Structure formats: structure tokens, C-alpha cells
Chain A
Amino acid sequence: MSWVRAILLARGLSRGWGGICGATLPGAPVSQVPPQTPRGLHCSATAHNSESSIVPVPPKPQRKPVKALSPYEDLFKQAPGMERDKASFLRSLKNFGEHNVHKRGHVDFIYLALRKMREFGVERDLAVYNLLLDVFPKEVFRPRNIFQHIFVHYPRQQECGIAVLEQMENNGVIPDKETEFLLIQIFGRKSYPMLKFLRMKLWLPRFKNINPFPVPRDLPQDPVDLAKLGLRRMEPNMNAKVTVYQMPLSKDWTGALDPTQPHIVGIQSPDQQAALARHNPSRPVFVEGPFSLWLRNKCVYYHILRADLLPPEEQEVEEIPEEWNLYYPMQLDLEYSRSAWDDYEFDIDEVEEGPIFAICMAGAHDQATLAKWIQGLQETNPALAQIPVVFRLAGSTGELLTPSPGLEEPARPPPPEGQEEEDTLQQQQQGQS
């Protein structure tokens, strides 16, 4: 009698929960069940995890590295000459099927295969995931009566299935019809892996293009190309031109770069060029950096060439020339201006910053390298030869630097430990030299 009440309770709970998660699993069993409740005939041979929860606990092998070799490790061992790629991974899956017709120990094998996927470079391959799910025996874990529906049927296998889906999700792989078909075959329509599948199917496509500034999935290996990509991402003006001021001497891109000639890649837009030409030569410009920029799992560092904001009295007011447009007046000779209720701008307190004239990414962050960049810039910006350039470099390339000093804060805050300040006033009078 007591377990009948328990069943009723569980069904009630599950109904409420099903409503919350979008009625994907009406009447699905909840594992908040006393451990002494009877189990179905097709219970997993392994011990049921008694600490039950809605979210399945991540499988243990993922948490702590197993010291002992798992029994199927040798399936993934390769002949010395063989490469680790999709073909060899698929061969291993096939070997498992041949090696073990009854698919004994498939859960352990799947967990192992999931861990190995990255090594083989197939962690983003939907077909491989589908083949991996195909390792599960079909029809065996499907609940066949109401009690099996209520209680978690074959929990270990379901958790394993969820682990596969979880890894797909983490790698941004969107399941397809075949995945659905396999999951229905293996676990049935009302199972936890299927619930996970439905949610992934709902949300992953919607989030796939959520980033308006997508970073390419595979970043270029060449540091020059990587720098070009990073600079393009930072510069909003599409007219901006990327210039490679110096190619690295060393042919070995990925290895340690030749310290004597690191790469220097810069970007500058025509507007910035014009602004630099207008810059008052009596005011210095600053080379600052390095600042960090993350591109997926890579961090690159950049430097900027900037100037301080002009004091208000020196700012030129842009005036409309009298005889400008041959066809229609460029301004109306009226005393009144736009009304407040047609002012569409939000009332935002904007902190004005000084202009940035150029950005560069270099293989080294020392002054000698950056001076070469400035020399390169002078070819396209002759005005720069007349302007004193101050290098403000922080030695460490670790984390973000303190923000560059603004107007109200002319004194630079004391550099944190481990940073050496190289404030060198370098008068570059190219006209004299």
C-alpha cells in the first residue's frame, strides 16, 4: 500500500516537473524514490546509484583520471606508423563490435571513447557521435511497462547516453534525425537522453549564430595571419589597411620565433591617417601596451598609438564653408533647432577619449620592435616624423594593464610589481637625420 502511495506521489511530482520542462516528458519517472522500491526485470547489472537526483551525476571516469588502464585501452592503441584520425577512431569502434559480439562492457567503452575523441580530432564530428551511440544495444533499455516508465530504467546506461550528448553540446555539435532515431531505439521516447536531446534540438540551433562577431572555428596557425585576424576584429572601419611591417625571419612559425626579427603587423584606417596628419606636433603621441586579446583559446597582445584628448580650448569646431554645395544649401539660416521630443539620442554620459591612430601586433613587446613599427608608419604618415613618440610599455605581458591615464588623471598610477616602466621620450626628428 505504501508503495502505491509512493507511485502516486511520484507521478504527481513528475507531472508538475514535466510542466516546467515544457511537457517533453509527461509522466516520466523521477528518481526520487525510496531505494527499496522494486525494480524492473531489466535492471542494470551494476549497482544503482542510490543518491538520486534529477540531473544525473557526471560519470566518475570523467572526474578523476583512472590510474589503471581501462580494459579497452588497447583498442585505441595504434600501430606506430598509424595516424590518429577519424578513420582509425572508427576502426576502433568497429573493432569493439567485432571483439565483443554481446557488447559486454559497452558503457565503459563509450566513456573511454568519449575521452579519446579529442586525441583523434573527432570531437566535433556528428557522424562519429552517431556511430558511438550505435554501440549501445538496441531495444534492451526501453521501458516496457508503466513501472519502468516511472522509475529510471537502466540508469547507468541512460547516464552514459547523456554523457555522449553532453560532450556533443560542449563541442557545439547539433544532433540530427539519426541521433534521434538511435536514441529512440536505444532508450525509448520517454527517457532522459531523449529529454536532453529535445532540449539540445531546441536551443542549440537558436544559439548557433547568436554571436554577431563570430571567431573562425579554426584559428590560423601562422602568427602573422592570426595578428591580421585580431586586428581586423578590433578595427571597426572596413577601409582600414593591414600592413605587415616585418615578417619573422624564422621559417618555423609555430616554434620559438627568432628574437632578432619578430613579426610586426599593423592596421590603420584612412580616417586615422587623416587624424594623425592633423595632430599638433607639439603634443606627443604614445605607444602603449601590450594589451591582451583573446581569440578562442589563444591570447594575442597588441599595442596602440594614441594621443591625449585635446583640451577643450584647442579643439577645432568643424565649420561649414560658405560656398560648398552647388545645388542646395548645406545649412538653414534659422535660429531654432531640434526640439527635445525629437532628440532620439539617449542621455548618456560619454567619457571622451583621445584619438587612437594605429594598432599593431608584434612578436616581441620591446621598444626596439615597436620603434620599427613607428618607422614603418612614417612612410604612410609623414607627419609622424615631426611628432615626439613616447613609449609606455609594461614589461609583463600577463594580464590587463591599468587603464591608460585620462585627462583628469594625468599622473600614471604606480605600476604594479613586476612591471618595468620604460618612459622614454624619443624625439624622432626624421627631417634632421
Chain B
Amino acid sequence: MSGCALFLWSAAVARACPPLVAFTGSRRALRTSPPIRAFAKELFLGKIKKKEVFPFPEVSRDELNEINQFVGPVEKFFTEEVDSRKIDQEGKIPEETLEKLKSLGLFGMQVPEEYGGLGLSNTMYARLGEVISLDASIAVTLAAHQAIGLKGIILAGTEEQKAKYLPKLASGEHIAAFCLTEPASGSDAASIRSRAALSEDKKHYVLNGSKVWITNGGVANIFTVFAKTEVADSDGSVKDKITAFIVERDFGGVTSGKPEDKLGIRGSNTCEVHFENTRVPVQNVLGEVGGGFKVAMNILNSGRFSMGSAVAGMLKKLIGSDSEVGSAQGGEALGPRPPAEMTAEYACTRKQFNRNLSEFGLIQEKFALMAQKAYVMESMAYLTAGMLDQPGFPDCSIEAAMVKVFSSEAAWQCVSEALQILGGSGYMRDYPYERMLRDTRILLIFEGTNEILRMFIALTGLQHAGRILTSRINEFKQGRVITVMETIGRRLRDSLGRTVDLGLTGELGLVHPSLADSANKLEENVFYFGRTVETLLLRFGKTIVEEQLVMKRVANILINLYGMTAVLSRASRSVRIGLRNHDHEVLLANIFCVDAYFQNLFSLSQLDKYAPENLDEQIKKVSQQVLEKRTYICAHPLDRTS
């Protein structure tokens, strides 16, 4: 049976993309450049690393054809055969749907070809993600399987482990799950309770513990499990350290609880997984013994960027799918219209006061918002994917986290606005909007909550900037006259107003002249952001870890800056190569840049200690008073004293 499935699947792959394999192999070999420093970290120093982001990453004509040939059948399948409403109501993905997904090869998208996967590059993975996200339950199931479930084996597995597990995982014969979260441990690795003890013959680890909220926990055969083991330190002392294991369900002692009843993504399987005296061979240790923390971090960091394109795909469908645009772009027929009428169609047909909804300004605004958000997150996602596809394993974890934060929040906002366009109908179960709203809510929570990712974005960048600025800040603190005078002089010059030129515009500029104003705004923001970061480091030093409100703003600014860079880069390319509707892109890019510019200015002024916009002290005081009493403490408006 499994052999048959494998055959079907490989046949499908062969049919879909014959030259794909050869192409991905050659592309990696072609580019050679020294290892690169990530773009976002340099923003903290007030610099734009233009080489990283200009021009916008492209794929070759051949590769594009391959992607489109592959995307076509998948999209057809999703629009015609997947019934998202039924999946949501029944809380289960039907077997035949899963079988079809397996035969399309979607369970091994990033598994290297030598292990039977598709070996897609990050860009192509992102492109496929656009299609797969049309059903959230399937997208989450697939993401849990390959973005985190089997990613550990690809990233840290030995040759034997890869050869043993990856083929079956890539074919979908086995499903993977990622077991990290415990009742007492969310992002706190120190409170992991699961334990693995080496057996007396030193051939097995005996694993005990419980994991909660495991996506695919009920259906998976292969688990990446994190548990504490005793590890002898270099100085001889024994310490508890986290180790990652590949656990098969057949090892025994693995039980899963009943599926959780969730708000959204109801078709995906989420449950508790218990390990009771599960005997794991020592060969199944993933990475080093005691090195599980790093494995977990790498897996989590690598899986995030694809949310951008996935949400963009969903938003584009939400506005309405136009086959004409699709065919012009890709040169192949995309799927037919989705069964439910989408928002644009609704707005153009529904009449009120003898006018179409589309003629009302407040409705138009919502469409502009959706288009803008979709455009920005698409740009960010593919820019990040392009960066990741560069040779030398660049560290783009900040960029990926920014894409995740931006796209999840935009998704929630846009789906809510789309529902609003339909008014009462949107609230009804007959329409897909309430389901999409429920499904998108999880995006803000999983793969690291947005709050946690903001801390990650800000702290990683501040650490980088802090190291580089160390000598300067130390000189300043010791009161070296030259440094102090220089800083004061710089402040004075900044406050008198200066034109910042980081070289994006001008003759032979990287940004097209139609976007020059926006590019100048970006340059100004980046420059003053660098100054603000320096001030913040000077003020707080390493204790900035405690200043979460400050870091939230730093992260927000950085996300905006990255979005601005991405849209400027993409729109410039579109204008220059003359893509369809590039004037529309310029419009969207300019709208977003102006919007983000003023948001950034506001955030920057909030970061100023004495600014009237800075309400941190008051905010902290209010929450402190509320939390002290653990209730809302104001008197009722109808209360009287006498």
C-alpha cells in the first residue's frame, strides 16, 4: 500500500515538474558570495544594507514556469475539491483529501530530493504556501508536519536518521509532530518536566512526560520530542539539559488524548501526547545530547517566514480572484472562482440608496487597506524568502519574525474588515468569513506569540547594535570630552533639521523616482531610528530587557521599516521591468510608506523620555493598581457618596 502511494506521489511530482530537481540544484551552485550580515540588524545602526534588499529578488524564467506548473494543479485541487466548510464543521480533514495532498507531494515540500521530497527553495515554498493557505486547517496540518515536525531531522539529523525517516515523511506515509509545549512550559525551557533517562545498557533513553497542544498529536507517527536529560558538564558536574529525540509511535508507551475543541483551525488535530516509559534508542537523539535547546530554537526560527505569503494568498482570495490577472501573470490558467461570492463582488453588486456599496468611501477604504496589507506582506515574505535562498545560510530570523508579526496582525485586521463589508451576512455561518476570522486568530498566537516575537526582534537587534556601540557608549559614560561634544553637536545638527541621504534616491538611485519621496521618508526614519537606538542603549544599557514597552515600539518601528524597504524595492523593480499595473503598485507603496512614516515618527517620539506622547509611566501605574486589586477599581458611574 505504502509503496503504491509512494509510486503515485512520485509519478505526480514527475508529471508536475520534471526539470524542477535539476534546476534547484544548479541555482544554489551558481551564486557565490561571502557570508552576509542580515539586513535588519544594520537598521539598528541607522544604516540600510542596500545590497541585501535591492534589487528585489527574482527567480529565473525557468524556475517561474516550474512553480506555475506545480501551483496550477494544487490550486485547482484546493478550489474544486477541498470543502473548507465541511472540514470546519466536522473537525476533521477527510481521508481522501489527505491522500490527494500526499499524492501531490505536499507533505515533503522542503525535504531534499535525495530523500524523496520536492526540495523546494524557500521562495517556491512560499509560493505554494499561498495556495495551501486557502484552507487553514490543511495549512496548519502541513505546517506542523514539515515546518516544525520534520524540520529537526533536516536541520540537525544525521545521515542515517535522514535516510531512515525522511522518505516516509516526505511521502506522507508518516506524519510528524513537534512536541515541545508542556502544561507548565510555554516558552520557558527551564520548566520542561519531561525526562529521558539513559537505560543501564546505555542503548536506550527511557522517556516520560506529557506534552500539550500538539498539532497532529493524534495522527502523527514520528514525534520530535524535547526532554531533559542529565548531562555531565565539562567540569564534571551533572546538569539537566534539554535533548531532542526522534520518537516513533511504535516505540511503545505513546498515547494521545482526545482532540481539543478549538476556536478555529478545527480541522487540524490538536491533542495531548503522553510518553510513558517510551524506550528511545540512543541513535534517535537529534543533534547532540544536551543540545536540544539550540535544535528547538533553530526549528522555531526557520519556520516563520512562510506565514507572510500564506496570509497574502488568503487575502487575495478574500478580495476576489480574477482569472485574467492570474493568467497574465503566470501564463497558465488558475482555478475557477470560489463558490462563495467574495467581498469585491459583493460590494459591486449590493445596492443601498440606489448606489453600489463600492461607491461609498468607507467601503472603498477597506478595500484599499486589504490591498495595501496584502501587497506589503507579499513583498516582505518574498524578500525574506529571497534572502534565505542566498547561499551561505544567512541568518534571517529577525526578518522572518517581522514577516510573521506583520502578516498575522494584518490578517486579523483584514478578515475583520472583510466581514464588516458584508455586514450582517458576514456574521452568518452561510458565508466563510466567520470561519476565516476564527481561523486567523491563531496566527497571532502560535509559532511564538506576537508579543514574544516583538521582544525577539527588538532584543536581537539591540544586542547587535549594543556590541558595536560599546566603545562609543563607554567613552560617553566616562565623560570623554570629544565624544560628548560630538554627540551634542550631532544632536544640535539633527534638531536643526537635516536632509538624510542614505543613497537610495538620486541619479542612478536604487529606488525609482516615482517612489523617491517615500524613499526619503524611509531614509529619514532609518537615520533617526539609529540615533534613537543609540540613545536607548545609552539610557538603559543591558537593563533594556526590563523595558518591554520600549522594546515593543522598537520592534514596531523596525517592522515598518522592513515593510517600507520591501515595498520600495518591489515597486521599483515592477516599474523598471514594466509589470502589469505597476502604477497601482507605486500607489500602494507610497500609501504604505507615508502611513508607516508617520507611525514611526510617533513611535520615535514616544521613545523620547520627556515627550508628551510617552505615557509609559501612567500605563504602568494603571495596570499596577488594577492588578493589585485584581479587578476594575473605578466606582460605578451611577454611584454616589451621599
Which residues of A pack against B, CB within 8 Å?
174-176, 201, 204-206, 208-209, 238, 321, 323-339, 341-342
Chain B neighbourhood of A341, CB < 8 A: 539
> Which of B453, B538, B609, B635 is A327 in contact with, Cβ under 8 Å?
B453
Give the residue among A209, A321, A327 with the most B Cβ atoms within 10 A: A327
B296 within 8 A of A: yes
In the complex, how many angstroms separate the beta carbon of A399 from the nearest chain B beta carbon?
A: 31
- Cβ-neighbour of A323 out of B293, B459, B473, B474 (below 8 A): B293
Residue B587 at the chain A interface, CB threshold 8 Å: no
Q: B189, A325: Cβ atoms under 8 Å?
A: yes
Are A327 and B448 in contact (CB-based, < 8 A)? Answer: yes
Among B242, B452, B544, B641, contact of A205 (Cβ-Cβ < 8 Å): B641
List B contacts of A334 (CB < 8 A): 463, 466-467, 470, 537, 541-542
Task: List 16 A–B pairs whose Cβ atoms lie within 8 Å, in order of A's numbering.
Answer: A174-B641, A204-B642, A238-B630, A323-B241, A324-B189, A327-B455, A327-B456, A328-B456, A328-B459, A332-B462, A332-B463, A334-B470, A334-B541, A338-B540, A339-B538, A339-B541
**Contact (A326, B630) CB under 8 Å given A333-B463, A334-B466, A338-B541:** no
Min distance, Cβ A210 to any Cβ of chain B, angstroms? 11
On whether the beta carbons of A339 and B452 are closer than 8 Å, the reply is no
**Quick one: which of A175, A332, A339 contacts B545, CB cutoff 8 A?**
A332
Least CB distance from A192 to B in Å reads 21
The minimal Cβ–Cβ distance linking B257 to chain A, given in whole angstroms, is 23
Say yes or no for B364: interface residue by CB 8 A criterion: no
B187 CB within 8 Å of chain A: yes
Contacts of A206 in B (CB 8 A): 641
19 extra A-B contacts, CB within 8 A, seeds A209-B641, A326-B189, A336-B470:
A174-B642, A175-B642, A323-B190, A323-B242, A323-B293, A326-B187, A326-B297, A327-B448, A327-B453, A332-B459, A332-B462, A332-B545, A333-B542, A334-B470, A334-B541, A334-B542, A337-B542, A339-B477, A339-B538
* Residues in A whose Cβ lies below 8 Å from that of B453: 327-328
Return chain A residues, CB-CB under 8 Å to B641: 174, 204-206, 208-209
| Nearest A-chain residue to B241, judged by Cβ | A323
Q: From residue B111, how far is it (CB to closest CB) to chain A in Å?
A: 24
Interface hub of A238, A339, A341 (most chain B Cβ within 10 A) = A339
Which listed residue, B241, B463, B609, touches A329 by the CB 8 Å rule? B463
Q: Does the CB pair A328–B466 fall under 8 Å?
A: no
C-alpha spacing A206/B640, complex, angstroms: 11
Q: How far is the CA of A336 from the CA of B189 in the complex (A)?
A: 27
Distance between A203 CB and nearest chain B CB, rounded to angstroms: 11
Residues on the A chain within 8 Å of B462, using CB: 332
Please name all residues of chain A whose beta carbon is closer than 8 Å to the beta carbon of B474 when the two chains form the complex.
Answer: 335-336
From B296, B463, B540, B642, A326 is in contact (CB under 8 Å) with B296
Q: Can you list, as one digit per residue, whether each of B459-479 has a CB less than 8 Å from chain A (1) or not (0)?
A: 110110011001001100100
B542 CB contacts on chain A under 8 angstroms: 331-337
Residues from chain B with Cβ under 8 Å of A326 in the complex? 180, 187-189, 293, 296-297, 300
Is B543 on the interface with A (CB-CB < 8 A)?
yes
Report whether A336 and B630 are in contact in the complex, using a CB–CB cutoff of 8 Å: no
Given contacts A332-B466, A336-B473, whether A327 and B545 have CB atoms under 8 Å apart is: no
With contacts A323-B189, A326-B300 taken as known, whether A336 is within 8 angstroms of B293 at the C-beta atoms is no
For B543, the chain A residues whose CB sits under 8 A away are 337-338
In Å, the complex CA distance between A180 and B107 comes to 83
Cβ of B630 and Cβ of A325 under 8 Å apart? no
Interfacial chain A residues near B470, Cβ < 8 Å: 334-336
Partner of B539, one of A204, A333, A338: A338
Q: Which 8 A-B pairs have the closest CB atoms?
A: A205-B641, A174-B642, A328-B456, A323-B293, A336-B541, A337-B541, A334-B542, A332-B542
Shortest A206–chain B CB gap in Å is 8
Minimum CB–CB distance for B608 against chain A, Å? 12
Contacts of A337 in B (CB 8 A): 541-543
- Contact in complex: A327, B463 (CB < 8 Å): no
A323 / chain B contacts, CB cutoff of 8 Å? 189-190, 241-242, 293
- B188: which A residues are within 8 A, CB to CB? 324-326
Q: A327 to chain B: which residues have CB within 8 Å?
A: 187, 300, 448, 452-453, 455-456
Q: How far is the CA of A209 from the CA of B474 in the complex (A)?
A: 51
A328:B455 contact, CB within 8 angstroms? yes
Chain B residues lying within 8 Å of A201, measured Cβ to Cβ, are: 642
**Which residue, A176, A326, A330, A333, has most C-beta atoms of chain B within 10 A?**
A326
- Write the chain A residue with the least CB distance to B641: A205
B526-543: which have CB < 8 Å to A? 537-543
Please indicate which of the listed interface residues B300, B466, B542 has the most CB atoms of chain A within 10 Å of its own CB. B542
Q: Which of A204, A205, A321 contacts B190 (CB 8 A)?
A: A321
Residue pair A329, B452 in contact (C-beta under 8 Å): no
- Of all chain A residues, the one with the shortest Cβ separation from B296 is A326
- Chain B residue, CB-CB nearest to A335: B470
Please measure, in the bound complex, the distance between the C-alpha atom of A204 and the C-alpha atom of B455, giving whole angstroms.
Answer: 49
Contact residues in B for A174 (Cβ distance below 8 Å): 641-642
For residue A332, which residues in chain B have a CB less than 8 angstroms away from its CB?
459, 462-463, 466, 542, 544-545
Q: How far is the CB of B640 from chain A (nearest CB, A)?
A: 8
Contact B609 A342 (CB under 8 A): yes
Q: What is the distance, in angstroms, from B622's C-beta to the closest C-beta of chain A?
A: 15
CA distance A341 to B476 in the complex (A): 14
Residues of B within 8 A of A176 (CB): 642
Q: Is B459 in contact with A329, judged by CB distance below 8 angstroms? A: yes
Residue on A with the closest CB to B454?
A: A328
Given contacts A336-B473, A336-B477, are A331 and B540 in contact (CB under 8 A)? no
Digitize B535-563: 1 where CB-to-A-CB distance is under 8 Å, 0 elsewhere. 00111111111000000000000000000
User: Cβ of A321: which chain B residues have Cβ within 8 Å of it?
Assistant: 190
> Closest CB of chain A to B540's CB: distance in Å?
5
- Min Cβ gap A381→B in Å is 21
Q: CA–CA, A335 to B544, complex, Å?
A: 12
Give B546's nearest chain A residue, CB to CB. Answer: A338
The complex places the Cα of A385 from the Cα of B5 at a distance, in Å, of 65
The CA-CA distance from A205 to B466 in the complex, in Å, is: 54
Q: A363: shortest Cβ distance to chain B, in Å?
A: 31
CB distance from B17 to the nearest CB of A (A): 36
CB nearest neighbor in A for B625:
A212
Residue of A nearest to B456 (CB): A328
- Picked from A205, A331, A333, A338, the residue with its CB within 8 Å of the CB of B642 is A205
On chain B, the residues within 8 Å of A175 by CB distance are 642
Specify the chain A residue showing the minimal Cβ separation from B291.
A323
Q: Closest CB of chain A to B60's CB: distance in Å?
A: 36
Residues in A neighbouring B190, C-beta threshold 8 A: 321, 323-324
Chain B, range 296-355, C-beta contacts under 8 Å to A: 296-297, 300
Residues of B within 8 A of A204 (CB): 641-642
State the CA gap A333–B466 with chains docked (Å): 9
Q: Which residues of chain A are near B539, meaning CB under 8 Å?
A: 338-339, 341-342
- Min CB distance, A345 to chain B, in Å? 12
Residue of B nearest to A341 (CB): B539
> Cβ of B456: which chain A residues have Cβ within 8 Å of it?
327-328
A330 lies within 8 A of B545 (CB): yes
Docked Cα-Cα span, A332 to B537, in Å, equals 11
Smallest beta-carbon distance A42→chain B, Å: 32
**What is the minimal beta-carbon distance from A327 to any residue of chain B, in angstroms?**
5
In residues 504-539 of chain B, which contact A (Cβ within 8 Å)? 537-539
> How far, in Å, is A233 (CB) from chain B's closest CB?
14
Chain A nearest CB from B110 CB (Å) reads: 22
Per-position 1/0 for B428-464, Cβ under 8 A of A: 0000000000000000000010001101100110110
- Distance in angstroms between the alpha carbons of A388 and B456 in the assembled complex: 47
Determine the distance from Cα of A416 to Cα of B196 in the docked complex, in whole angstroms. Answer: 61
Bound state CA distance, A336 and B242, in angstroms?
Answer: 31
What's the Cα separation between A18 and B470 when bound, in Å?
68
Residues of chain B lying within 8 A (CB to CB) of residue A335: 470, 474, 542
- Using Cβ atoms and an 8 Å threshold, which residues of chain A touch B242? 323
Task: Check B540 against A342 for contact (C-beta < 8 Å).
Answer: yes
Give Cα A328 to B448, complex, Å. 10
User: What is the bound-complex CA distance between A321 and B641, given in angstroms?
Assistant: 53
Q: How far is the CA of A332 from the CA of B187 in the complex (A)?
A: 18
